[in-house]
Structure 1
Amino acid sequence: MTVPLLSHVSTRSVDPADRIDFWEEYNRQALVGLTCSSYSPDGLLATQSNFRLGGLRLAEITGNEHVIERNPRTCQELPKDSVFVSLLTHGQAVFFHEGGCLTVKAGDLVLYDTRRSYLFGFPSAMRQLLVDIPREVFAERCASGDVSAPLLFGRGSATGGAMVSAIKSLLADWATGRGNGDSVQTEATVLDLVRALTAPRLGDESALPAMSSRLAMAQDYIDRHLSDPRLSAERVAEAIGVSARHLSRVFQQSGVSPARHILDQRLAKAREQLADPSSRHLTVAEIAHRWGFPSQAHFTRVFRGRFGQTPGETRRLA
């Protein structure tokens, strides 16, 4: 898939004395007006890639310890009418706002209004995936309520955690070119998951994920638990908050059953590892165990049925 990259910059190629000004000017044009401070002796070392995701923008940001702020004056002089969805994938952060402070850890999602002041501080190396949702799009497709204070997601609810993880997987795949290539469908799924997360917190208790979003949640959960021999359709259904029967309906759009999808993914991962020279030290039995197969005999039988050759033959040919 060709990723629709809009721009990419790094402060490493900029004179250390000019890095802050460079970063602020780039963000003003590409994302949002802000001020930045860095307390590292190396100065600000940061990169940012901006992608088009349907009618949305996705930014992938990495950096060392630094602070960004959007204060009342900046909000007035550099207006921005969006809702940001920020998913911290590495590091930790604090998010100060007019009502208090949030502690953010890797895996958490923060949703906030760019018309309101905030300060985002990162005390160590960080990586962030950020979706810029225009306000009119958010009101129409996510929630009509006002985001008067930032919302933190990712803890306290298994289903909420599954939705946040699915969003992370979709965004990371898109940024790295591993996505399905359908920007309209990916945008719709991301917006639907954001709606299912935020609408109940903003007064709409009826919001539930659509079938496509349930499928994304289920596939993400399976990907993260492939090595667990206890992984089953029942466990997947429980993790995403549906019955096993409903999960079967969710998977109808993919053309395979949940159990078949689990088996196919395990076989694909095992085959990939068998062909990887760096995994030569692992026996076939160890690879089978690593990807959740109950025995080497069972693994060899289903592997040959799927690929027409044994695991050992696959390794020799590779």
Structure 2
Amino acid sequence: MPVLAVSTVSTRSVAPADRVEFWEEHNRRALVGLTCSPYSDQGLLASETNIELGDIRMAEIAGNEHVIERTPRTCRAFPKDSVFATLLTAGKGVFFHAGGCLLLEAGDLVLYDTRRSYLFGFPSAMRQLLVDIPREVFRQRCAEGDVSAPILFGRGSASEGALISTLRSTLSDSATRAREGADVAADTEDIVLDLVRSLATPLLDDRSVSVDRFSQLAVAKDYVDRHLRDARLCAEQVAEAVGVSTRHLSRIFEPTGVSPSRHILEQRLTKAREQLTCTGSRDLTVAEVSHYWGFASQAHFTRVFRERFGQTPGEVRPVAARPASSDG
């Protein structure tokens, strides 16, 4: 199924007096019925991109200070039977609901039911990634339990943090690729639903959670990408972040054809090669690039680099960037 950018809109091209009505009408059609109140002298400055991902939808939303509200009356007038997973990536948020109030910071994820009323306020500029999961899809693919009250994720265990970080990377990368015309629907849908399932099942289902290796692999790869520069990064550290044993981590990587340790090395070599061939890095020595990407010594880096690419680090550099005396 091809990726479909459902809508990309901004209030900046709309007359200030008409921005709120425009925003509310757009969201009623593209996402969910709500009312909006801006709190800036400039009025509402907001943008939103919606992307279809199979049976689910994601939205990238950015704006200045404002409040959105889904009142009981709005819920009746514009019914919506979904579970939203909203990841705040910039700014702060205040989420009021029937049972109380949640304070959100960048990096927090809140899971909530669109059939129930809520108010979501942003006291400063904000950015969020929102996943719209139809209720039936949520029950089949994520958790059977009912989201009777909003659930806040992001401040629990290290493995919970790793899951949220992977969700953020997956959504951000998919949005970028989708805008470039790539078909990311199937892969992104599976990863996102597995990640939400891994977060939600322990809280909403009595049955024990069995995390899919597909999502575990995504979490492991994301953790590696974010810690490549750490010279201490190893399979044991990745396993701890994912919440599994090193033996199980090896099983997770089996479909890739490489071990966790080899994956770390391959990623480091790839990033180092990209930096070495970039004209913007011409002032960096091979030793500095080696250290930057977590290699213990330049000698080790040069040896594994030659084994992987058939050239030394110095030989792949642009001619103008090579020093008079080779350093590798």
Instruction: Answer whether contact 2:231 2:296 (CA < 8 A) is retained.
Output: yes
Name 1:246's counterpart in structure 2.
248
Task: Report Cα offsets for 1:213-272 as digits up to 9, x if no partner.
Answer: 110010011011000000000110011111101100000111111111101111111111
Name 1:288's counterpart in structure 2.
290
Name 1:116's counterpart in structure 2.
116
201-210 or 20-29, which deviates more: 201-210
Name 1:209's counterpart in structure 2.
211
Structure 1 stretches of at least 4 aligned residues deviating more than 3 Å after TM superposition: 178-182
Amino acid at match of 2:106: A
SS at match of 2:61: strand
Name 1:265's counterpart in structure 2.
267
Amino acid at match of 1:52: E
**Structure 1 gap ranges (5+):** none
197-206 or 26-35, which deviates more: 197-206
- Determine the C-alpha separation between the residues in 2 that align with 1:266 and 1:53: 31
Matches within 5 A, 1:181-260: 181-260=183-262
304-313 or 33-42, which deviates more: 304-313
Task: Report Cα offsets for 1:248-302 as digits up to 9, x if no partner.
Answer: 0000111111111101111111111122232223222111111111111211111
Amino acid at match of 2:55: G
How much does 1:45 deviate?
A: 1.1
Matches within 5 A, 1:1-318: 3-177=3-177, 181-317=183-319
How much does 1:82 deviate?
A: 0.4
Instruction: Answer whether contact 1:3 1:175 (CA < 8 A) is retained.
Output: no
Amino acid at match of 1:69: E
Amino acid at match of 1:137: V
Alignment RMSD, CA only? 1.7
Amino acid at match of 1:11: T
Task: Report Cα offsets for 1:118-139 as digits up to 9, x if no partner.
Answer: 1111111111111100011111
TM-score, scaled to structure 2: 0.93
Instruction: Answer whether contact 1:113 1:150 (CA < 8 A) is retained.
Output: yes
Instruction: Answer whether contact 1:36 1:67 (CA < 8 A) is retained.
Output: yes
SS at match of 1:204: coil
SS at match of 2:302: helix
Amino acid at match of 2:276: L
How much does 1:184 deviate?
A: 2.3
How much does 1:205 deviate?
A: 4.5
How much does 1:203 deviate?
A: 3.3
Instruction: Answer whether contact 1:70 1:119 (CA < 8 A) is retained.
Output: yes
- Determine the C-alpha separation between the residues in 2 that align with 1:279 and 1:40: 42
Task: Report Cα offsets for 1:1-44 as digits up to 9, x if no partner.
Answer: x8532210111111111111111111010000011111111111
Counterparts in 2 of 1:4 and 1:265: CA distance versus 1, 3 Å: farther
308-317 or 172-181, which deviates more: 172-181
How much does 1:78 deviate?
A: 0.7
- Determine the C-alpha separation between the residues in 2 that align with 1:208 and 1:168: 22
Amino acid at match of 1:112: Y
Q: Answer with 1 or 2: which has the greater Rg.
A: 2
Q: Percent of aligned pairs with the same residue?
A: 68
- Determine the C-alpha separation between the residues in 1 that align with 2:283 and 2:12: 38
**Structure 2 gap ranges (5+):** 322-328
Instruction: Answer whether contact 2:177 2:184 (CA < 8 A) is retained.
Output: no
Q: How many residues end up aligned between the 2 structures?
A: 317
TM-score, scaled to structure 1: 0.95
Instruction: Answer whether contact 2:142 2:197 (CA < 8 A) is retained.
Output: yes
